[in-house]
Structures are given as C-alpha cells and as structure tokens.
Chain A
Amino acid sequence: MKSNSECRILVLPSNESIYKEKGTLLLDALASGNHSVSADCGGRGTCGKCRVKLLSGSVAGASVDSDGYVLACRATIIEDITVFYGDSLHGGLEDMKASFTSLDKKSGLGIALDIGTTTVAACLVDLESGEITKKTSSLNPQRSFGADVLSRIQASNEGKLFMLRDAIVAETKRIIDLLSDGKPVEELVISANTTMLHLFLGVDPASIGVSPFVAAFLDSRELSGCDIGLPVSRVTLLPSASAYIGSDVVSGVVSTDLDQDKRINMLIDIGTNGEIVISVGGKLYAASTAAGPALEGASIECGVGGISGAIKKVSVNYGELDISTIDDASPVGICGSGLIDAMAILVSQGLVDECGNFDYDCDSPLSARLVDDKFYLTDKIYISKADIRQIQLAKSALRSGINTLFVMSGINADRVDSYYIAGGLGYYMSVESAITVGLLPPECKGRVEISGNTSLSGAIEAMLSSRKLDKAKSVAKMIEIIDLAGSSYFQNEFINNIYFNI
C-alpha cells in the first residue's frame, strides 16, 4: 500500500511493484525487491551496467538517453514509474559431477554452497550415498553494492556491513528452502573467497582492503544454524589461506587433488580475481592477481554476462566470421569466452600489432570490419580500442602471476604435468584462443583439465568426508603465499606481458 510520499515502481517483465519514499535511489529500490542490479563500479555512475529502461514517468538526477535508458545508480525516484529490467542468467554449475564418494557414515541431507563475488552456486547432497539430488545457482545479491570484493569492502566501510550480511544470508536461506523442499537439512558447508566469508558472518573486512591486506579470520568455522538464523543443524565455513587466497581456492586444491607426490600441477581459477596455485611434489605456492572484471564482459563497451544472445564463440571460416550466441538468440553483446576468441582472431589475423593497436593496412579478409577504431563482429557489436586495453591489462595480470609462480617455485612451464582450469569462464573459453591471446602459457597445450567449479566440488567432498575436511585445513596452513604486489619480478613481467605475441 502506498502513502502520500511513496511512489510505485512497476518492474517489467516480472510485473513486480515496489513502493518507496520519494528521493530513494532507483538502484536501492530495485535491490529491495527481487532484482539484484549490477553496479560494477559500486554506484559511482561510471560503468553503465545498471542501465534500466524507463517506460513511463520521470526520475531526477539522471538523464534519459536516446534509447530511453537511465542509470539506476544515479536516478532518484520522484513519482510513479514503470521500468524494464531483465535479470541476467548465471553459471556456477558447469560440469558438476552427478555423485561423489561418501566415506563417512552419515545420513540425511546436506547443502554445499559456493559464494562467489558474482555467482552463488549450491548442491543438495544425499549424505549417505553422496548423490547430488538438486542444484541451483543465482546471482550474489550483494552485487548492487559493487562488482568486485574491494567495492564490497568499501560498502562495508561506509556502514553497510550488516546490509551485505543480511543480503547473502537471506539468499542462502532462499536457496536452502528451494533445495530442501521443507525436508530437514543436517549440514551446510560453505566455500567462498575470504571477503565473502567475512561478510557472511558480519565480520568487518576492512583490513583486507588496505595494505598489508590481512584478514580478521582464516580458520574454518563451525556454527549451529540457529546462531545465524538458517534452517540447518550445522554450518561449516571452510578455511582460507590468506586475505586473497580464500577457502574457494583451498577447496579447489582438495577437489583437484593438486598436491600429489611426484607430480607438478597448476590450478588456475580465472575470474575477476585470478587465483593460481602450483604444487611441486606436494609443496604449494599460491598467488592472487587482480585481472579485473574485463574477462567477464564487465568494463567492455559491448560486454555482457552469460545471458541469452551473448556472443560466446567466434571463429574464422574461409575468411568469414562465424559467430555463435547463447541460446542461438540474436546477438545482444559479447561475453568472456567470445571476447577471448575475438581477441585471438585480431591477433592471429594481424588486425592488431604487438602493442595492441589496430593495423588498418593489414591484408586480412576481415579488415573491412575495422571502422573508426572499432572491430565490428556484427553491425552493432564491436570491440573498441579501449576494450583491447582492458583485455591487455587483464591477460597480463593473470599471465604475469602464472610466470611469477613458475619462477618462485623454480619450475619451467613445460615441466607441469596438468593445468587445471577452474571457473565458469575457464569452462567455456577456448584454450587455444587463450594461448593465442597470451592468457595461458603455450606449454599448457594438451595438458589442460577443464575442471568447472572446483570450489563447490571441494565443499561437497569436505561435507562427505571428515578426511577431506582435515585435508582442507592442512592445505590452508601449508600454502605459501606469493605476494605479487611486492614482487619486482611481477612488475616487470606485467609490463612485458601487455604485448601480444604476433
């Protein structure tokens, strides 16, 4: 019901009505309903990801563009309005096995939960058989506070810690209800990056955001569900290794069995933060590198997440571009895997030089697509010069992190037995394109294991076996953290790897 000072925000296509006081920010109003709007820049009005279409009424503080869109993070509500906002789809469940081995004598149901900065993924597991009976994924509702961990920490610093906590706890409760269907759930095991774990418990993450980057807690936590208002008997938070090597990475080491004797393995989780672990005869070194959100389509002019119509794959066939989109829908933008393919084509066709500049004199059959410092994939969707710069920074950050770990552990890239590539982007992207772009070392060819969501797999294993949980605890203590920010080798590599190998 609405009072005089309240306005009604009708959201299409979901047909939801939200009532808010005049003067409320549209972004906050949408977030209070069932919509989590992306605000990758944390609401500073710079990323353009919170654009919503204004169908009727007007707003203050933001201008309406020629297509009728406004930035929700700038727009203040002054009267009744109708907006169009379609939530995007999400991954997080790529290649999940149907069942795991249950070693302990347990019974009942358990839920394993992976809280990513962008995506939340969960599985309902039969604790006796190890079978996964249901799974779900959704967007982390905290993303209206910013896309990356630092903007979440900043939001917490601005007094929003408990709002962040309540948002993720409410989402967790929704997931438990959805998966359990009213049946009792014994265990909830959570794997997440260190910041997400702090926010989940309402522990101040401020010290993770500034040098020397220290976490308030790293050890595993066991609580009863009623302590935090969740309808489960026990809640376990898996242990982290450092402020930027969280339990999601520790889980990944456990689930890929990375630290086998007599083998050299590398785990690479590609995302907004790239995390890399190398195991040399059971000794573990890890580093985290801020690749930025570019590889997930954010901060790219025509970039989108994994939504219907996102260009996911690009190849060249007889001099023509071959483009495929999610759901084969008509193209709306380009997501991470498509972006890496397109960049690889620019490099291999010589449409860019080694510095990343477009080469207009290139004799590639595709050079007609180069217009005004943009490479057009379709008549509307392009990769701009500025986008290439973003890709260069992201790929150099990850690759330089990988190279630094090689040097610190005294290993050459060709001595690695297996490269485990984790994460949603890693699942969908072409390894070949990633090598051409320079994201991955050429030596990984033929030795790549695409591993999907290793954080979630590790959480399931730790739930089913106390031996695996103990393993996670020892891995978290054992990992030696390589500080890239303070490494002059990394700084040098970072400059060198910005170039492309033409």
Chain B
Amino acid sequence: MQILEEISTYLQRGRAPKVKELVMQAIEEGVSAETILEEALLSSIGVVGEKFKRNEVFVPEVLVAARAMNAGVEVLRPYLVAEGIKNKGVAVIGTVKGDLHDIGKNIVKLMLEGKGIEVHDLGVDVTADTFVEKAIEFNADIICCSALLTTTMAEMKNVVLKLDKDGLRDKIKIMIGGAPITDEFCQSIGADYYTADAASAADVALKICKREI
C-alpha cells in the first residue's frame, strides 16, 4: 500500500509530524490500526535497528526515528484498543545499580517496542530487588539489564541471584547487554541471554516471548 510505504520512509527519516499526519490519513482511508502498526511503524523501526547494527545509521538517527514511531503509535493507541490488539510479550528494562548510562538501554527499549513487546523502563541505577519486583508486578517475560561500566556489570549477577531466590527463573528470562559485556560473562553469572547489539536483542526477546527459545 502506497501510504504505508510513505509512513515508513518518513519514519526512517525521523519526521514525527509527517508520520502522525499520514497515520491519521491511513485510518481515515480505512486501513486497520493493526496493519499500520505492523507494516508501517514496527517494520520501519526494525529497518532502522538493522541499519544501526551495520553502522549505517547512528544514535541520533535511531532516537529521532523512535520519536517519529511513538508519534504514530500515540495516534493509533485508541484504535488498537478498539481492535483488541494485544502485545506480544512484556519486558522490564533498566541500567543496573551504580550505573547512570542510559542511551544504549533506550535504544534496546525501542527495538523491543518495535517488535510489539510492551516495555516498562525502570530507568538507571536500578537495584536487583526493583528489577524483580517490577517484573512480577508487570507480569514480565523478560528482565533486560544494561551496564556500561566494568565496575557495575557485576551487579547483574545480583539480579540473577534474586530471581533464583524467588524461584522465578523458569518464568522470567534475563537478558544482559552493554559495552563491557561478553557472552563469556553472561555464562559466568548464569544469565540467560547476551546480545551484542539492540537489533539482535529484539530478535532474541521476541523468540523468548513466543516461547521459541
């Protein structure tokens, strides 16, 4: 459909007002909210995520594209509720205790939202207890932990221990990421998944929600 392609083009360029306007126009033309969400908004942010992974676009472009996507989603929200569209899963995300960096975390959040996952952002400097409490409160499938500092990444282990202690490891999966993290580290602390970039994180998160892994 012509209009969906147009929305996609403007979204990838980060033109929020134009995206908003075209989403409204599509609704008026009778396109279903679900189709607009899936085929124009979510797929486009997925394209941006893939480009980010290949170094073709960078942090600012991802953030403006995200702003444009959110503008479109806001317009769609009442229609989605009316159509009874449900999310594909729930995640809580945050930067671990002692760490204040949030740009990487924000990008992962977006990419997960781009896959249709409902994401609750717990912010920065989040304690292990808060991660687990909030995951229970929102009935989350995934806890996503971010750390940028080698001195704070050890805190991720506490999230694993807390979830172990509460006996929730079967129900909730732990994904970790951030510049100093490696797969080796992920295994050493007993977390479930590590991904090197935001686009891969979204792929893994979707598989977790669909119980494919």
Q: Is B a genuine binding partner of A?
A: yes
Partner of B63, one of A146, A389, A495: A495
B2 at the binding interface (Cβ < 8 Å) = no
Q: Are A210 and B99 in contact (CB under 8 A)?
A: yes
A residues in contact with B182, CB < 8 Å: 44-46
- The complex places the Cα of A42 from the Cα of B99 at a distance, in Å, of 19
A356 at the binding interface (Cβ < 8 Å) = yes
- The complex places the Cα of A496 from the Cα of B58 at a distance, in Å, of 12
B residues in contact with A210, CB < 8 Å: 97-99, 149, 151-152
- The complex places the Cα of A149 from the Cα of B154 at a distance, in Å, of 16
Mostly helix, strand, loop or mixed at chain A's interface?
Answer: loop
Q: Are B151 and A357 in contact (CB under 8 A)?
A: no
B59 at the binding interface (Cβ < 8 Å) = yes
B residues in contact with A150, CB < 8 Å: 149-151
Q: Are A157 and B151 in contact (CB under 8 A)?
A: yes
Q: Are A392 and B99 in contact (CB under 8 A)?
A: no
A residues in contact with B34, CB < 8 Å: none
Q: Are A209 and B59 in contact (CB under 8 A)?
A: no
Shortest distance in angstroms between A373's beta carbon and chain B's nearest beta carbon?
8
Q: Are B125 and A146 in contact (CB under 8 A)?
A: no
Shortest distance in angstroms between A390's beta carbon and chain B's nearest beta carbon?
10
B180 at the binding interface (Cβ < 8 Å) = yes
Within 8 A of A (CB), among B50-83: 55-61, 63
B residues in contact with A41, CB < 8 Å: 180
Q: Are A211 and B98 in contact (CB under 8 A)?
A: yes
A499 at the binding interface (Cβ < 8 Å) = yes
A471 at the binding interface (Cβ < 8 Å) = no
Task: Tally A residues with Cβ within 8 Å of B.
Answer: 30
Shortest distance in angstroms between A283's beta carbon and chain B's nearest beta carbon?
27
Q: Are A498 and B152 in contact (CB under 8 A)?
A: no
Of A157, A211, A355, A385, the most chain B CB neighbours within 10 A belong to: A211
Q: Are A389 and B61 in contact (CB under 8 A)?
A: no
A residues in contact with B180, CB < 8 Å: 41-42, 44
A151 at the binding interface (Cβ < 8 Å) = yes
Shortest distance in angstroms between B153's beta carbon and chain A's nearest beta carbon?
8
Say whether, besides A44-B180, A486-B100, A154 and B58 are in contact (CB < 8 Å). no
A residues in contact with B60, CB < 8 Å: 355, 495-496, 498-499
Shortest distance in angstroms between B53's beta carbon and chain A's nearest beta carbon?
11
CB-based A-B contact count at 8 angstroms: 65
Within 8 A of B (CB), among A370-422: 373, 385-386, 389, 392
Say whether, besides A389-B55, A485-B100, A486-B100, A209 and B149 are in contact (CB < 8 Å). yes
Task: Tally B residues with Cβ within 8 Å of A.
Answer: 24
Within 8 A of A (CB), among B92-111: 97-101, 103
Mostly helix, strand, loop or mixed at chain B's interface?
Answer: loop
- The complex places the Cα of A498 from the Cα of B61 at a distance, in Å, of 10
- The complex places the Cα of A357 from the Cα of B51 at a distance, in Å, of 11
- The complex places the Cα of A45 from the Cα of B185 at a distance, in Å, of 11
A210 — nearest CB in chain B belongs to which residue? B98
Within 8 A of A (CB), among B155-212: 180, 182, 184-185
A residues in contact with B55, CB < 8 Å: 373, 385-386, 389
Q: Are B100 and A42 in contact (CB under 8 A)?
A: no
Partner of A153, one of B58, B63, B99, B151: B151
Partner of B58, one of A206, A373, A486, A498: A498
B residues in contact with A206, CB < 8 Å: 151
Within 8 A of B (CB), among A130-179: 146, 150-151, 153-154, 157
B residues in contact with A498, CB < 8 Å: 58-60
Shortest distance in angstroms between B23's beta carbon and chain A's nearest beta carbon?
25
- The complex places the Cα of A44 from the Cα of B196 at a distance, in Å, of 14
Of B55, B56, B97, B103, the most chain A CB neighbours within 10 A belong to: B55
A residues in contact with B57, CB < 8 Å: 355, 357
Shortest distance in angstroms between A214's beta carbon and chain B's nearest beta carbon?
11
A485 — nearest CB in chain B belongs to which residue? B100
Partner of A154, one of B59, B151, B184: B151
Say whether, besides A46-B182, A211-B98, A154 and B56 are in contact (CB < 8 Å). no
Say whether, besides A357-B56, A495-B60, A146 and B150 are in contact (CB < 8 Å). yes
B residues in contact with A495, CB < 8 Å: 59-60, 63
- The complex places the Cα of A31 from the Cα of B56 at a distance, in Å, of 39
A residues in contact with B56, CB < 8 Å: 357, 385
- The complex places the Cα of A347 from the Cα of B58 at a distance, in Å, of 16
Q: Are A151 and B58 in contact (CB under 8 A)?
A: no
A residues in contact with B150, CB < 8 Å: 42, 146, 150-151, 153-154, 209
- The complex places the Cα of A280 from the Cα of B9 at a distance, in Å, of 48
Q: Are B100 and A211 in contact (CB under 8 A)?
A: yes
B residues in contact with A356, CB < 8 Å: 58
- The complex places the Cα of A11 from the Cα of B28 at a distance, in Å, of 75
Shortest distance in angstroms between B104's beta carbon and chain A's nearest beta carbon?
11
Binary per-residue interface labels of chain A (477-499) against chain B in the complex, 1 for a CB within 8 Å, 0 otherwise:
00000000110000000111011
- The complex places the Cα of A151 from the Cα of B151 at a distance, in Å, of 7
Shortest distance in angstroms between A343's beta carbon and chain B's nearest beta carbon?
14
A residues in contact with B61, CB < 8 Å: 355
Say whether, besides A44-B182, A486-B100, A157 and B58 are in contact (CB < 8 Å). no
Binary per-residue interface labels of chain A (197-211) against chain B in the complex, 1 for a CB within 8 Å, 0 otherwise:
000000000100111
A residues in contact with B100, CB < 8 Å: 211, 485-486
A residues in contact with B97, CB < 8 Å: 210-211
A residues in contact with B58, CB < 8 Å: 355-356, 389, 392, 498
Where the two chains meet, the residues of A that have a C-beta atom closer than 8 Å to any C-beta of B are 41-42, 44-46, 146, 150-151, 153-154, 157, 206, 209-211, 355-357, 373, 385-386, 389, 392, 485-486, 494-496, 498-499
Where the two chains meet, the residues of B that have a C-beta atom closer than 8 Å to any C-beta of A are 55-61, 63, 97-101, 103, 125, 149-152, 154, 180, 182, 184-185
A-B contact pairs, 29 of them (CB 8 A): A41-B180, A42-B150, A44-B180, A44-B182, A44-B184, A44-B185, A45-B182, A45-B184, A146-B150, A150-B150, A150-B151, A153-B150, A153-B151, A154-B154, A157-B151, A209-B149, A209-B150, A211-B100, A355-B58, A357-B56, A373-B55, A385-B55, A392-B58, A485-B101, A486-B100, A494-B103, A495-B59, A496-B60, A499-B60
Closest 10 pairs (CB-CB, A-B): A209-B151, A210-B98, A154-B150, A385-B55, A485-B100, A150-B150, A211-B98, A151-B150, A153-B151, A154-B151
